[in-house]
């Protein structure tokens, strides 16, 4: 995940969540529900201190150990439950995003789970995103601290869900709302890694919604019939898998597409392959050494 939602909004004309939701819904017939919900959002670069430098400073002040509050089989469960309750986000969503982002690990081979551009911790938050959410919800100054990292990540999920619905929030979380808006308004190209991201997590959250559903989600859900009848121009496995994930959300599945199964250790063209056999986003690859 790159820069924060508030930074993005500050650079845009005033637009309420309901207006954005209507724009999403009105765009669906023209562009196709599949491509919308698989869209990759690329967040704008923040001004001021370079993100990598801010991430390095955070890393330098992080602790070398954080005691998990839960048992070995669910070490972060209590924090997940607290965050899910606070922001009315299903625990399943939080767990699925965390698993995709960090595998639920703080460290990997003795290093903090940190992307080269600076995404940090269990929920892989970029420094500007954490800074904004920290100020809003009175969180601590250590984005690697599991409680606050999970709290901030869950708050960001809720923000994206309120604007884009489900599973569109996944595309926005993966790379930010800026490029999602670029797709909606300018029909920009959609990166494969985010289509895979949405497809992978989308299957895990089928039929699961917050107690209080967002206006955007209700509007997008009203177009479920388009997901049943839409015939994608592209027929490759990546778009098929995204279409399957969205279709299943309404309880009506499509035939399972053939997806190539890749070894867990396989690397191709500089991409690190995740547990699902899909490439991790480029900005999330390679870990930086811990400084403690």
CATH of the domain at 213: 1.10.530.10
Q: Is residue 292 assigned to a domain?
A: no
**Catalytic-role residue among 54, 73, 101, 181:** 101
Q: Is residue 291 assigned to a domain?
A: no
What token pair was written down for 184? 């909606």
What token pair was written down for 178? 């800026």
Packing angle, helices 146-164 and 127-137, rounded to 10: 90
The mean-pLDDT minimum among 23-37, 134-148, 168-182, 236-250 falls in 23-37
Q: Is residue 99 assigned to a domain?
A: yes
- Residue 124, pLDDT score: 94
Q: Is residue 62 assigned to a domain?
A: yes
Neighbours of 81 (CB within 10 A): 16
Q: Is residue 290 assigned to a domain?
A: no
pTM for the model stands at: 0.67
**Active-site residue, 193 included:** no
What token pair was written down for 16? 């309420």
pLDDT in tens, 246-289: 444 444 433 333 333 333 322 223 333 333 333 333 334 333 43
Q: Is residue 268 assigned to a domain?
A: yes
pLDDT in tens, 48-94: 678 888 888 999 999 999 999 999 999 999 999 999 999 999 999 99
133 membership: H or E segment, kind and range: helix 127-137
Cα torsion through 214, 162, 234, 231, rounded to 10 = 20
CA distance 292 to 142: 13
The total domain count for the chain is 1
Q: Is residue 157 assigned to a domain?
A: yes
CA distance 45 to 50: 9
Q: Is residue 9 assigned to a domain?
A: yes
Residue 57's domain comprises 5-284
């Amino acid at each position: 995940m790159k820069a924060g939602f508030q930074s993005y909004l500050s650079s845009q004309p005033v637009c309420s969540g309901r207006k954005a939701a209507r724009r999403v819904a009105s765009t669906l017939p023209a562009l196709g529900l599949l491509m919308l919900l698989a869209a990759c959002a690329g967040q704008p670069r923040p001004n001021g201190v370079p993100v990598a430098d801010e991430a390095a400073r955070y890393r330098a002040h992080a602790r070398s150990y954080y005691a998990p509050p839960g048992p070995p089989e669910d070490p972060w469960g209590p924090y997940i439950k607290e965050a899910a309750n606070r922001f009315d986000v299903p625990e399943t969503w939080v767990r699925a995003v965390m698993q995709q982002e960090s595998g639920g690990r703080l460290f990997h081979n003795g290093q903090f789970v940190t992307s080269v551009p600076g995404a940090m911790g269990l929920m892989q938050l970029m420094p500007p995103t954490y800074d904004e959410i920290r100020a809003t919800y009175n969180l601590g100054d250590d984005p690697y601290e599991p409680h606050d990292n999970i709290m901030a990540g869950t708050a960001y999920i809720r923000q994206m869900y309120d604007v884009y619905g489900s599973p569109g929030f996944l595309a926005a979380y993966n790379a930010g709302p800026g490029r999602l808006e670029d797709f909606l308004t300018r029909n920009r190209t959609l990166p494969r890694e985010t289509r895979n991201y949405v497809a992978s997590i989308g299957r895990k959250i089928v039929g699961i919604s917050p107690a209080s559903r967002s206006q955007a989600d209700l509007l997008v859900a009203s177009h479920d019939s388009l997901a049943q009848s839409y015939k994608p121009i592209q027929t490759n496995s990546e778009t098929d898998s995204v279409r399957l994930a969205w279709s299943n959300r309404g309880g009506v599945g499509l035939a399972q597409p053939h997806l190539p199964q890749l070894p867990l250790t396989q690397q191709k063209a500089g991409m690190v392959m995740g547990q699902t056999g899909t490439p991790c986003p480029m900005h999330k690859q390679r870990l930086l050494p811990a400084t403690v």
